[in-house]
Amino acid sequence: MTDFLGAVNDLVWHETLVYLCLAAGVYFSIRSRFVQVRQIPEMVRLMLRGEKSPAGVSSFQALTMSLAGRVGTGNIAGVATAIAFGGPGALFWMWAVAFLGASTSFVECTLGQIYKDRDKLTGEYRGGPAYYFSTALSHTAAAGAMKIYGYVFAAVTLLAMGLLLPGVQSNSMASAMSSAWGFSKWWVAVGTVIVLAFVIIGGVKRIATFASIVVPFMAVVYIALALVVVLFNASEIPAILSLIFSSAFGIDSAFGAIIGLAVMWGVKRGIYSNEAGQGTGPHAAAAAEVSHPAKQGLVQAFAVYVDTLFVCSATGFLILSTGAYRVFEGGTADGAVIREGGTILPADAEVGPAFAQTGFDTLWSGAGSSFIAISLAFFCFTTIVAYYYMAETNLRFMLGRFATVNVRFLPGSVGTTMTMLLQALILVSVTLGAVSTASEAWTLGDIGVGLMAWLNIIGILILQQPAYKALWDYENQKKQGLDPQFDPVALGIKNATFWENYDPATGKDRERARA
């Protein structure tokens, strides 16, 4: 089974996907006139503002929901893995995919807002790739094919978020706690499941509230303490930057043979971390209450920067400045060691959180393991919560109106029953992931990320135009000194049913108001 999953992972993460992600980012950047640079001040302003309603969360809550899914084990163990198998230059390619991916995130998240819908069961806003794939071209001859495409994406996302990806997070969390405090992985699994059940059963609003409190606090604390360690090694920074760039382009002879791996692991772990193009961001973006879709597109683009340029960079500089790393040949820990960062890393240290733990120990001896364990506990838990929300959103899409139908032999409606089954599935996935090996967990997670990225990037390359129309409209209204309001009919955007029925004066659907 391990060999089979490895073969599937290699097929999904063929170098074609790596270069597709980079090429799509370049294309979206050019088409949007580098929106990820021009609109940074507006991103920050919008991030701190925004209205919420009984049906939707604020822009900031949507941002933190998105960050909850992005900021996880990929920001610690993922960065260590990228450096170990791709060399220090992998960090540069993580930056590159984040910069380019911010434009990709803008496109997908704006589409998520344009084609969002109201949950028939709860009344909350729902949206994501499955929604815009099945809706955007429903007035054309491609309607049938795109509707099927939407259902395929929903099924893949349900599989990835409900089964394949949660185990990566719980595995890293359990491993770090076991290493730091000697906890049994089974006890970590049980404790996580109990707390997780309480949060996810509360619905979107509880998820948003939980994420808005936990994510910003832990991200700031982690970055601050990592920077303290880096500043104590400030004299190493020039050499680190030189090493990153020389490794990224094969200038350093030691890394010349693995330049392809630097690109591969940088992009692979970059997307795993910031999720730009994977199709996860649009789910949280659609839940926001905004007057114009471009607003949330800009906020979500900034989330990519927060994840990679801030959190991942903090981990990368921590590891490199303290010399707590090894680089292996052939993209596997079984390969020969190409470069040893220093002598401080234990000989038996596994690739992953141990790199960051050792780096922290150089300043706070003995405290590194505990701090990383606590950080991963919060980061991984909020990521699992976000995974559940996205799985639930795609389940609701697949059920459609059938979600509200009551069946005699079911305890409530079909939607209620299937939601309970999904909650049970993700709790089981978390439990099994916590006690499995790291290799198995990461392989399953990579397969899930890769499948979603393939489907989403190809899809938004087809559907991108409404996102640009929304961007130009937003910028034109801002130039006139207005608080932009979205009118899809005036822009020639079809099938944006929610917005066609939305009354900006009341913040309610006209149909619901009449009813």
Average pLDDT over residues 350-358: 86
Q: Which residues contact 28 (CB under 8 A, 6 or more apart)?
A: 100, 103, 104, 106, 107, 464
Residue 92 reports pLDDT greater than 50: yes
pLDDT of 504 reads 62
State percent of the chain over pLDDT 70.
91
pLDDT of 348 reads 80
10 Å CB burial of residue 104 (0-12, 13-18, 19+) is buried
User: What is the rounded distance in angstroms from the CA atom of residue 177 to the CA atom of residue 115?
Assistant: 42
pLDDT of 510 reads 59
Residue 454 reports pLDDT greater than 90: yes
The answer to whether the Cα torsion of 337, 342, 345, 346 is positive or negative is positive
CATH 1.20.120 corresponds to the domain 12-481: no
Most confident of 112-116, 170-174, 216-220, 437-441: 112-116
The identity of residue 82, as a single letter, is A
Q: What is the pTM assigned to this prediction?
A: 0.90
State percent of the chain over pLDDT 90.
51
**266 CB neighbour count, 10 Å cutoff:** 27
Q: What is the CA radius of gyration of the chain?
A: 22
State the angle between helix axes of 89-114 and 293-304 in degrees (0 to 180), rounded to the nearest 10.
160
End-to-end CA distance of the chain: 55
pLDDT of 514 reads 43
User: What is the rounded distance in angstroms from the CA atom of residue 272 to the CA atom of residue 285?
Assistant: 18
> Between residues 345 and 473, which one has the greater pLDDT?
473
DSSP annotation of 161 reads I
> Between residues 253 and 282, which one has the greater pLDDT?
282
Strands 508-509 and 502-503, how do they pair? Answer: antiparallel
User: What is the rounded distance in angstroms from the CA atom of residue 413 to the CA atom of residue 404?
Assistant: 5
3-state secondary structure of 371: helix
The average confidence (pLDDT) of the chain is 87
Lowest average pLDDT, out of 129-143, 174-188, 247-261, 413-427, goes to: 247-261
Average pLDDT over residues 16-41: 95
pLDDT of 267 reads 92
3-state secondary structure of 346: coil
Strands 326-328 and 337-340, how do they pair? Answer: antiparallel
pLDDT tens-digit map of 404-424: 888 777 777 888 889 899 999
Q: Across the strands, what pairs with 508?
A: 503
* Per-residue CA distances from 350 to 12, 165, 433 (Å): 25, 21, 18
In the chain, domain spans: 12-481
pLDDT of 488 reads 96
- Nearest alpha-carbon partner for 319 in 277, 276, 355, 365: 355
